[in-house]
Structure 1
Amino acid sequence: MNKKIIITQSNYIPWKGYFDGMALVDEFVLYDDMQYTRRDWRNRNLIKTPQGLQWLTIPVEVKGKFYQKIRDTKVSDKKWAKEHLKAIRFNYAKARCFKEVFPFLESIYMEAEKLEYLSEINFLFLRNIKDYLGIFTPMKFCWEYPYNIEQDRNRRLIEICKLAGATDYYSGPAAKNYMDEQLFLQEGIRVHWLDYSGYSEYEQLYPPFEHGVSIIDLLLNEGKDAVKFLKNTGNKECKM
C-alpha cells in the first residue's frame, strides 16, 4: 500500500502552500531536530498592511547559540502574542471574515502565549489551522521515530520515510539542490516535487495581490471558503 509523506521544518503561521502540501500527503512530519536558522520562516511570517508587507516575528533566544536545534529554541519575550494580535486586529478589521476568524485566532494566541518553545508554538498553530481547514492528515515530530540523526541529510530522510512506512516522499523544489533522488529510489521511495504554481486569487485587502503571505490572510478574508483556494483539499478522508 502506498503512503505519501512530507518531512519539513515547522514554520510560524506559514503560507497556504504549506497547508496544501499537508493536505496532499498521508503523514506530515515536523523536522525540528535540525539547526535553527535566523531570518527564516521558523519564527516569523508576513501579513498585509496599508503600507505594504509586515513581518510578525516571535522573539527567540539566539545569542551565543549558533548550533541550537529548532526544538530547543525558546521564546525570549512573552509579550509577542499580544503584539501580534494587535497587529492582526489593526490591519484586518475590515477583512470580510474578520468577525468569524479573529476569535478563533485569538484563542490560539492566548494558548501559545503560555508556551516556552518555538516548536510547541508552531505545532499549536499548525494543528488548529489544519483542523479549521478540514485537513486531517496526522502530524508528528521527527523524534517520535528512532532514526539516526548522525547520518547525512539524505540518509536521515530515507530512514524516517522507512520507519513511517512511506513509499512516496514529497518536498519543496528548493530541496533539489541537495537531495539525491537516485538514493531514495534505491531504497524503494519515490520522490515528488511540490508545485506551488496556479493558485487562484481571492478577495485580499491592500492591492496588489500577494500569494506568499501567511495563511491567516486567506482565513481572515475568506473564512471557511479558504479551502476553495487550496489545490489539494476536498477529497481527503479523516485519518485521525
Structure 2
Amino acid sequence: MKKIAILQSNYVPWKGYFDLIASVDEFVLFDDMQYTRRDWRNRNQIKTPQGAQWLTVPVEVKGRYNQRINETVTDGGHWSALHWKALEQNYRRAPHFDEIAAWLAPLYQASNESELLSVVNRRFLEAICSFLEIKTLISSSSDYELSDEKTERLANICVQAGAEEYISGPAARDYIDESVFTDKGITLRWFDYLGYKVYPQLWGDFVHGVSILDLLFNCGRNSPDYMRYVKT
C-alpha cells in the first residue's frame, strides 16, 4: 500500500517534519500554494544562550501579495553567510558540530543571494534526509495536474501518484473534508507528533520545536534515536 504526504516546504524544519517524510513512500512539496508571510516557509528557530533565535531567509514580497511559494525569490543580503555564522557561534561546542558542518557549511556557501525559496528549502531537505538515511521519494505538486479546491487537489495528487493512503499533519483537520478521500478510495490517517524523547541539548531548558539542525549538531548519527519514524 503506497503512502503519501503533501506539505509546503519549510526552511530547515523541526524533527517532526522529517518523521512525516520518513513515514511515507512519497513526499510531495505543496509549493504551488500561496506564500504566507511570517510562517515556516522561510524561517525557523535555533537555540542560543539568550533563548530561541529566528533564522529568517529574506524574500521579495513587495507588490507580490498573491505569489506562490515556488515563485518566491530570496532577497539577497548575504543571508546564507549570516545564518551559518549564527549556527557556528551557537553550536560550535556541540558534540557533533564538525561532523555536521562538513556537509552543511557547503550548502550555505552554495546558496545564492537571489534564487527561488523552494530551491533553497529543497536543497536543505534533501541533504538532511540523506544524512538521516531517509530514502522517501520527494516530488513537487507542480509535477501533477491540480484542482482548484484544496481537499480535492490533495486527493487528486494521491490518485495520480497511485497512493492508497494519505498521511496528513494534525493541523489540516481544520480544513480537510475527509469524505473527498473516502469517495476516491483513499485512506486518510492523521500523523501524531507526540511522544518525543529528550536529547542532550545546549543552552538551558529543553525545547522540542526548534530546527532539526539542533538535534543533528547535538546527536549526529544518533539523531534517529530521538525520532519516531525514521527508516534505516
Whether these two folds match at TM > 0.5 is yes
Query: For structure 1, which runs of at least 5 residues remain unmatched after alignment?
Result: 236-240
Counterpart residue number, 1:223 = 220
| Deviations 1:86-113 (CA, angstroms, capped at 9, x unpaired) | 0000011111111111122101111223
Aligned to 1:102: 101
Cα displacement (A) at 1:148:
2.8
- CA separation of 1:178/1:227 partners in 2, compared to 1, >3 Å: closer, same or farther? same
Question: Runs in 1 of length 4+ with deviation above 6 angstroms?
Answer: none
Runs of 5+ consecutive residues of structure 2 not aligned to the other structure: none
Shift of 1:114: 6.2
Deviation at 1:122, TM superposition (A): 0.3
- Describe the SS at the equivalent of 2:188: strand
| Distance in 1 (alpha carbons) for counterparts of 2:136 and 2:208 | 23
Q: Work out the CA distance in 2 between the residues paired with 1:230 and 1:114.
A: 33
The count of residues paired between Structure 1 and Structure 2 equals 232
Q: Give the TM-score normalised by structure 2.
A: 0.97
How far off is 1:31 after superposition?
A: 0.4
Partner residue of 2:229?
A: 232
Q: Let me know the Cα RMSD of the aligned residues.
A: 1.1
Letter in 1 for 2:73: K
Q: Deviations over 1:102-131 (max 9, x none)?
A: 122101111223661000000000000001
For residue 50 of structure 2, what is the aligned residue in structure 1? 51
Query: Which amino acid counterpart does residue 67 of structure 1 have in structure 2?
Result: N
User: Which aligned pairs between 1:139-218 and structure 2 lie closer than 5 A?
Assistant: 139-145=138-144, 147-149=145-147, 151-218=148-215
Aligned to 1:89, the other structure's residue is in SS state: helix
Kept after mapping to 2: 8 A contact 1:112/1:124: no
Instruction: Tell me which amino acid in the other structure corresponds to 1:93.
Output: R
**SS of match in other structure, 1:191:** strand
Asked whether the 8 Å contact 2:132–2:221 carries over to 1, the reply is yes
Contact 2:3 2:165 in 1 (8 A): yes
Q: TM-score, normalised by structure 1?
A: 0.94
Amino acid at match of 1:185: T
